Amino acid sequence: MDMISELVDANRILFHQRIVDAFGHVSARHPQRAERFLLARNVAPGQVTAADILEHRVEDGEAVMADPPRLYLERWIHSEIYKARPDVMAVVHSHSPAVLPFAVAKGARLLPVCHMCGFLGSADGSGPPTFEIRNTAGDASDLLIRNRELGAALARSLGAGRVVLMRGHGSTVVAESVRLAVYRAVYTEVNAKLLLQALPLGEVQALTPGEAEATRIATEGQVDRPWNLWKQLADAGAGAQA
């Protein structure tokens, strides 16, 4: 299936671009069966091959096959978002290094500040929400989305958005396609790095909601350009990181 090959590429690109390391995962809704999604078994993203991709059920987050290999501990991130958001066709969960500070520092806001990152915008000009797992799991949890209830709480926090930060954990990004989800995951990191460097210089000028929406539409029409470049780099890198 072409989608499996696309998903393997997404895993390798996200690893090569340093969005995921030994941890993190990317999934795609099944192109023919909307009640299923494709996700690797429990393996580091940079090592995923087509044989590792398993069909999972949106309903309960479990693998379709009987007696599956070890699965990702947090597969309910994916299943509950697909359930709540019929428009979402791909999900990336990562701990990318520049985004995490915004998920750790109270009140930090990951506002879109450059034209490649308009997708971080929203109508009210706030940045992506932050999911606080303590509100659901209490203050002694392992922070993992390890069941349906927690996945559903995360999906509620994401709401109709494209990106949700997860306190002390990382972020989850959604999109209408695998390529767009990868683009957004990479550029969420780019915007975060930029903000980390701009904030000490003075008052940061975020994109207006109108600019965010206009730039989002303009840049996302170019998504194949970075995808093709990243794929070529990941292929050439032979498993290393950029």
Q: Which of residues 176-215 bind a second copy (CB under 8 A)?
A: 190, 193-205, 207-211, 213-215
Q: Which among 34, 38, 51 has a CA at the least distance from the CA of 7? A: 38
Nearer to a second copy, 58 or 100 (CB): 100
In angstroms, what is the minimal distance from the CB of 30 to a second copy?
Answer: 26
| 131 touches 95 (CB < 8 A) | no
In angstroms, what is the minimal distance from the CB of 29 to a second copy?
Answer: 25
- Give me the active site residues, please: 74
Can residue 242 be called a binding residue for a second copy (CB under 8 A)?
yes
Q: Which of residues 88-127 bind a second copy (CB under 8 A)?
A: 95, 97-98, 100-102, 104-108, 113-116, 118
Q: Which range touches a second copy (CB under 8 A), out of 31-39, 59-67, 85-93, 216-224?
A: 216-224
Q: Per-residue string for binding with a second copy, 48-87, x by CB under 8 A?
A: -------------------------x--------------
H helical segments located in 20-97:
76-84
Distance, in Å, from the CA atom of 30 to the CA atom of 223, rounded to the nearest integer, reads 21
In angstroms, what is the minimal distance from the CB of 233 to a second copy?
Answer: 7
Nearer to a second copy, 30 or 169 (CB): 169
Distance, in Å, from the CA atom of 55 to the CA atom of 71, rounded to the nearest integer, reads 11
Can residue 143 be called a binding residue for a second copy (CB under 8 A)?
yes
* Beta-carbon contacts of residue 79 (< 8 Å; ≥ 6 apart): 37, 56, 57, 58, 59, 60, 61, 148, 151
In angstroms, what is the minimal distance from the CB of 79 to a second copy?
Answer: 19
| 103 touches 76 (CB < 8 A) | no
| 74 touches 93 (CB < 8 A) | yes
Q: Are strands 90-94 and 25-29 parallel, antiparallel or unpaired?
A: antiparallel
| Residue from the set 44, 63, 71, 84 that interacts with a second copy by CB under 8 A | 44
Can residue 233 be called a binding residue for a second copy (CB under 8 A)?
yes
Can residue 140 be called a binding residue for a second copy (CB under 8 A)?
yes
Q: Which among 8, 13, 203 has a CA at the least distance from the CA of 96? A: 13
